A and B are shown apart, each in its own frame.
Chain A
Amino acid sequence: GAVVSQHPSWVICKSGTSVKIECRSLDFQATTMFWYRQFPKQSLMLMATSNEGSKATYEQGVEKDKFLINHASLTLSTLTVTSAHPEDSSFYICSAWTALAKNIQYFGAGTRLSVL
């Protein structure tokens, strides 16, 4: 099956710094990439939809200036958590989807962010 690489898998940073998370589809061109956030023992919440070459669409309640998304190519999307605070600590998961495989969404391994 398709592989989505997410990097880094774990990051610890100081409050106020910015962190960039990369999501790459390794063997297919993803029409769309999604970014989810998961707090401990909770479900996945969709944060934003990222389409190549266009602005990301954010879900209600997600600050677009806080969570910057760039989708520069059909194989790479990045999520930058700007001026991170402890409440941003969470598990972030990306997924890649293409119209050619509508039924399947491929998930990255996730990034655990801990903000001190």
Chain B
Amino acid sequence: ELKVEQNPLFLSMQEGKNYTIYCNYSTTSDRLYWYRQDPGKSLESLFVLLSNGAVKQEGRLMASLDTKARLSTLHITAAVHDLSATYFCAVDIPPSNTGKLIFGQGTTLQVKP
């Protein structure tokens, strides 16, 4: 069964703190995607991780991919209120290169002043 599981599902943190969101998946996909969704809005692409060991950083967010462990992490450094949103990871539904994605449950991040 195809599964993408995120942990935690809800995260409340103080500004300035660091935290990591985990994404485990069951497929053999070599690509993993991270998206951000603000309430009532659609998805904003954050990162596309294309291979084992890939690491990408944008501002206070850093994503990494371990295809052997089928695990991706989204690390938040020194959180600020603007990062409050729901974050989804997604992987290709096999066969790859069709564009079909399966999403994790989403992690709702709440950053408190």
B100 touches A49 (CB 8 A): yes
Contact with A along B72-113 (1 / 0, CB 8 A): 000000000000000010000100011111111110100000
The chain B residue sitting closest to A32, CB to CB, is B99
Q: Any chain B CB within 8 A of the CB of A11?
A: no
* Residue numbers in B under 8 Å from A99 (CB-CB): 97
Beta-carbon contacts under 8 Å, A1-15 to B: 6
A43 touches B103 (CB 8 A): yes
B104 touches A32 (CB 8 A): no
A109 touches B31 (CB 8 A): no
A105 touches B101 (CB 8 A): yes
B103 touches A44 (CB 8 A): yes
A93 touches B43 (CB 8 A): yes
- If over half of B's interface residues share one DSSP class (helix, strand or loop), that class is named, otherwise mixed; here it is loop
B99 touches A112 (CB 8 A): no
Q: Any chain B CB within 8 A of the CB of A46?
A: yes
A43 touches B105 (CB 8 A): yes
* Residue numbers in A under 8 Å from B57 (CB-CB): none
Q: Any chain A CB within 8 A of the CB of B59?
A: no
User: Ordered nearest first, which 7 A-B pairs have the shortest CB separation?
Assistant: A97-B99, A110-B42, A107-B43, A43-B103, A107-B42, A109-B42, A44-B103
Residues on B lying within 8 angstroms of A by beta carbon are 31, 33, 35, 40-45, 48, 50, 88, 93, 97-106, 108
Residues on A lying within 8 angstroms of B by beta carbon are 6, 31-32, 34, 41-46, 49, 93, 95, 97, 99, 102-105, 107-110, 112
| Interchain residue pairs with CB less than 8 A apart (6) | A43-B105, A93-B43, A102-B97, A103-B31, A103-B48, A104-B45
